Amino acid sequence: MQQHSRIQHEDEPSEGYIKKLIAQGEHQQLDFKFGINDSRKIARTLAAFANTDGGRLLIGVKDNGSIAGVRSEEEFYMVQAASEMYTRPVVPFEVKEWTVSQKRVLEIIVPAVKDILHSAPVEKDDYLIYIRVNDENYSVNSVWLKAYKWKNLKTGTFIRFTESEKFLLSYLETEPVITQSRYCKLSKIKSKTAENILAGFVAIGMISIVFTKHGVQYKLSDEYTKLTPEQRLKKITIHVSK
């Protein structure tokens, strides 16, 4: 079992380090927790931070930003259990205890881990890959996983550029988003074919995945919208399989 460093005890500096963090509100790299009563749930946050851009978890802080304080050792062991028992592989973290307005706040610092995906349980034995989007954790889908794999291939990512691919880009130039099922219906292609096309465009940076509480959607990437039609075609052509 991986051992984490002991808690580092810190006094809140005069410039208010923790209070400045809290003032940012929860976002992609910052989450507040009043307390911890479910290590599995915290494991999902640790995995999501590690799989995305890293982040900080402030324990003893309510959702509205007010400082409630913690029972330091107990909360620390809950986080340690989340990491060591419920993340695969184990997500590393650093922990600091801050005294703020005579109350103790735990700062859990999770680094971004490159080239390794961490999973956490959604149920007892059902582990999924999580990422952090704004202030929420989302389990990824097969399109995201396939795009991640293809993007990291040493041989590069190659796609087809048939009428089905052209239809998708054309549709998204007039509509803000599309779902995989709607793409299948409109273009009359199978779900697996749609999955491969979407993953290919995500891998080369032409389409972005939009995770929401109501499901997954796809839109043109910021990169795509900034390029001229000629530049888009050139970029796509580079990745077209010969």
Domain of 114: which CATH number?
3.30.950.30
Shared domain check, 112 and 25: yes
Amino acid 71: pLDDT: 76
CA angle 178, 179, 181 (to 5 degrees): 130
Nearest to 41 by CA among 137, 164, 183: 137
Residue 6 has pLDDT above 70, yes or no: no
Strands (E), 87-189: 94-100, 103-110, 119-121, 127-133, 136-139
Which of 117, 138, 159 terminates a domain? The answer is: 138
Shared domain check, 188 and 73: no
Sign of the C-alpha dihedral, residues 26, 30, 35, 36? positive
DSSP annotation of 110? E
Give the number of domains in the chain: 2
For range 119-134, the mean pLDDT = 92
d(CA 57, CA 41): 13
Amino acid 102: pLDDT: 87
Shared domain check, 196 and 125: no
- Where residue 8 falls among pLDDT bands split at 50, 70, 90? low
Identify the domain containing residue 172 by its residue range: 141-238
- Where residue 16 falls among pLDDT bands split at 50, 70, 90? confident
Predicted TM-score (pTM) of this structure: 0.89
Mind listing the pLDDT tens digit for each residue in 21-71?
999 999 999 999 998 888 999 999 999 999 999 999 999 999 999 999 997
Task: Output 208 or 72, whichever has higher pLDDT.
Answer: 208
Which of 86, 109, 138 terminates a domain? The answer is: 138
CA distances from 11 to 28, 98, 101, 102 (A): 26, 5, 10, 10
CA distances from 193 to 153, 165, 218 (A): 20, 10, 15
Residue 123 has pLDDT above 90, yes or no: no
The residues pairing with 104 across neighbouring beta strands, listed in sequence order, are 99
Mind listing the pLDDT tens digit for each residue in 57-112?
999 999 999 999 997 678 899 999 999 999 999 999 999 999 888 899 999 999 99
Which of 123, 138, 153 terminates a domain? The answer is: 138
193 three-class SS? helix
- Domain assignment of residue 3, yes or no: no
Shared domain check, 216 and 159: yes
Amino acid 2: pLDDT: 45
Amino acid 9: pLDDT: 67
